[in-house]
A and B are shown apart, each in its own frame.
Chain A
Amino acid sequence: MNDKLSYYQDKKARSEKFILIGGAVALLGVLSLFIAASTLPGGFEVLIVVILIGLIFVGVGFAQFSSVVKKFKNDYLKEMISEWIEDGYYDPKRGLSPAQVYHCEFLKKADRFHSEDLLTGKIDGVRFEASDIQLQERRQRQTKNGTQTYYVTYFKGQMYVFDFNKDFEGFLQVLENQRPQSRRKYDRVKLESIEFNKKFNTYSTNQHTAFYILTPQFQERLMAIERAHPGKIGFSFIDNQLHMAINNNKSNFTIHLFRRIDEALIKAFKEDLQVIYNIIDELKINKRIFKEA
């Protein structure tokens, strides 16, 4: 393991120790409170203090953990990504903007929008942008204490935006059990492949564009992408760009408690990036054979 990774791992391990020790002390305090508080003179107050000390340790541990994660992503991962990808840029705090996300026209507007882990760059000549997205809808329910407002997540996953290798007019959407979320006049398009029509609903404002983009081979490739990525998937082709969103309840570049910062973690992060390579390679959008050089 390289020195930089060891540095972050040591700091993370220290924060985890705080959490473990604090948690153990607080738990011990709570257990003692139930078992022995009445037998000790002034025991109740002492145990409350013990629990508080334990909780403070846990709080400090989490604060340190969060700080280490931020520092690791901001310094180490940012640098790594700029080395791995041409024009690579990574910002853990930012993500695709709401305008960029809704531009795909198949995700409905959220009451709560959150995006993070913005990644941009160029792979094999194809410019892309990607980030984690979480969309939530506000709901209300009546309880005996009045109206309660709560939020339900209807999309959690990644969105990718690629420059497409064909220029086209109109708008096209290829969706899994979804409909376009736009007032634009989309018509359902049936393609030749029964299998493709079963898997995806295709909507377009221009029938020719749908057939121009969705060649039989491209349909096969979209199905291969769908098979390789669990979760609900959607593609839209708008303004000479391909938007792809995977609702898989996952986040990229996540660092968990008690999971070591080591080469295995870096490998896992590279696998998160591999999705982008796979899409470009599988869909062959790196083949610039339809545009002027």
Chain B
Amino acid sequence: MQDWMIVLIIIGVILLLPVGWFISTMNTLKRKEVKVEEAESGIDVALTKRFDALSKLVQTVKGYAKHEAETFEKVVKWRAGLPKELSLEQKQEFMGRMNEVQSGINVAVEAYPDLKAEKVFVNLQNSINNVEEHLQAARRVYNSNVSTLNQRIVTFPTSIVAGMIGMTRKKFFEADEAKKSDVEISF
């Protein structure tokens, strides 16, 4: 093989290496971004389930917790499911509103021991606990994936690729302080 050919191959390899690294890093970042998006849709599913479970509970207790039923009506516009364009902040707000309704119901039914003992009510409450656990899990999965992606985005040299493809740090889905603890029946 001619010397000039060897030099050409070496130059080619030297040029191709960064290109290969760039493509591979870009793909890794994109894959992680897709995982974040998947996790966000997991939150949407969990929020919708929680909304449905809360609707059933409100129907059951509306005779006992009128104020909470009215509060719930205000979020009923999302009965058909969460709009796709809803921002993370709006989702957090939606979750907060549902928490308010739930807490209000918990306090309101405190005065009705018969209702609390009803099997239908207990099952509904358990179903809400379960949906809440799923929602918290979805939130944590999302935050875990965001954390992994953000670490890549800010760490050199991956940060160069992230900057070139316009990828920026994602926001975390903040938890309502009260919901960070284990789900417990509070009445």
Listed in ascending order, the chain A residues whose CB lies under 8 Å from chain B are: 166, 190-192, 207-209, 211-212, 215-218, 288-293
Cα-based distance from A293 to B119 in the complex (angstroms): 7
User: Pick the contact of B129 from A191, A211, A290 — CB < 8 Å?
Assistant: A290
Nearest residue, chain A, Cβ from B127: A292
Cα-based distance from A124 to B3 in the complex (angstroms): 82
Instruction: Flag whether B109 is at the interface (Cβ < 8 A).
Output: no
Which label, helix, strand, loop or mixed, suits the secondary structure of the B interface? helix
Cα-based distance from A207 to B8 in the complex (angstroms): 47
Contact A292 B126 (CB under 8 A): yes
Residues of B within 8 A of A191 (CB): 144
Contact B182 A208 (CB under 8 A): no
Residues of B within 8 A of A288 (CB): 126
Contact B126 A215 (CB under 8 A): no
Contact A215 B130 (CB under 8 A): no
Q: Would you give the 0/1 interface string for B126-145, flagging 1 where the beta carbon is closer than 8 Å to chain A?
A: 11011001101110110010
User: What 10 pairs across the A-B complex have the smallest Cβ distances?
Assistant: A212-B137, A211-B137, A290-B130, A217-B182, A211-B140, A292-B123, A289-B129, A211-B141, A293-B122, A207-B141
User: Pick the contact of B126 from A190, A212, A289 — CB < 8 Å?
Assistant: A289
Other than A215-B137, A216-B180, A289-B126, give 13 A-B pairs with Cβ distance below 8 A: A166-B130, A207-B141, A208-B42, A208-B134, A211-B136, A215-B133, A217-B182, A218-B182, A288-B126, A290-B130, A291-B130, A292-B123, A293-B122
Residues of B within 8 A of A289 (CB): 125-126, 129, 183-185
Residues of B within 8 A of A166 (CB): 130, 133
Residues of B within 8 A of A190 (CB): 144
Contact A208 B141 (CB under 8 A): yes
User: Pick the contact of B181 from A208, A212, A217 — CB < 8 Å?
Assistant: A217
Listed in ascending order, the chain B residues whose CB lies under 8 Å from chain A are: 42, 119, 122-123, 125-127, 129-130, 133-134, 136-138, 140-141, 144, 180-185
Residues of A within 8 A of B184 (CB): 289
Which of A166, A209, A290 counts the most chain B CB atoms within 10 A?
A290
Which of B127, B136, B140, B185 counts the most chain A CB atoms within 10 A?
B140
Residues of A within 8 A of B130 (CB): 166, 290-291
Cα-based distance from A270 to B183 in the complex (angstroms): 32
Cα-based distance from A290 to B185 in the complex (angstroms): 10
Residues of B within 8 A of A208 (CB): 42, 134, 137-138, 141
The contact sample of 8 A-B pairs, CB cut-off 8 A, is A208-B134, A208-B141, A215-B133, A215-B182, A217-B181, A290-B126, A290-B133, A293-B119
Contact A293 B123 (CB under 8 A): yes
Contact A211 B181 (CB under 8 A): no
Residues of B within 8 A of A216 (CB): 180
Nearest residue, chain A, Cβ from B185: A289
Nearest residue, chain A, Cβ from B140: A211
Smallest distance from the beta carbon of A223 to chain B beta carbons, Å? 15
Cα-based distance from A207 to B126 in the complex (angstroms): 23
Cα-based distance from A204 to B9 in the complex (angstroms): 45
Residues of A within 8 A of B138 (CB): 208, 211
Nearest residue, chain A, Cβ from B123: A292
Cα-based distance from A172 to B146 in the complex (angstroms): 22
Residues of B within 8 A of A218 (CB): 182
Smallest distance from the beta carbon of A247 to chain B beta carbons, Å? 30
Nearest residue, chain B, Cβ from A215: B182
Smallest distance from the beta carbon of B137 to chain A beta carbons, Å? 4
Nearest residue, chain A, Cβ from B184: A289
Cα-based distance from A269 to B137 in the complex (angstroms): 39
Cα-based distance from A292 to B127 in the complex (angstroms): 7
Nearest residue, chain B, Cβ from A288: B126
User: Pick the contact of A212 from B125, B129, B133, B182 — CB < 8 Å?
Assistant: B133
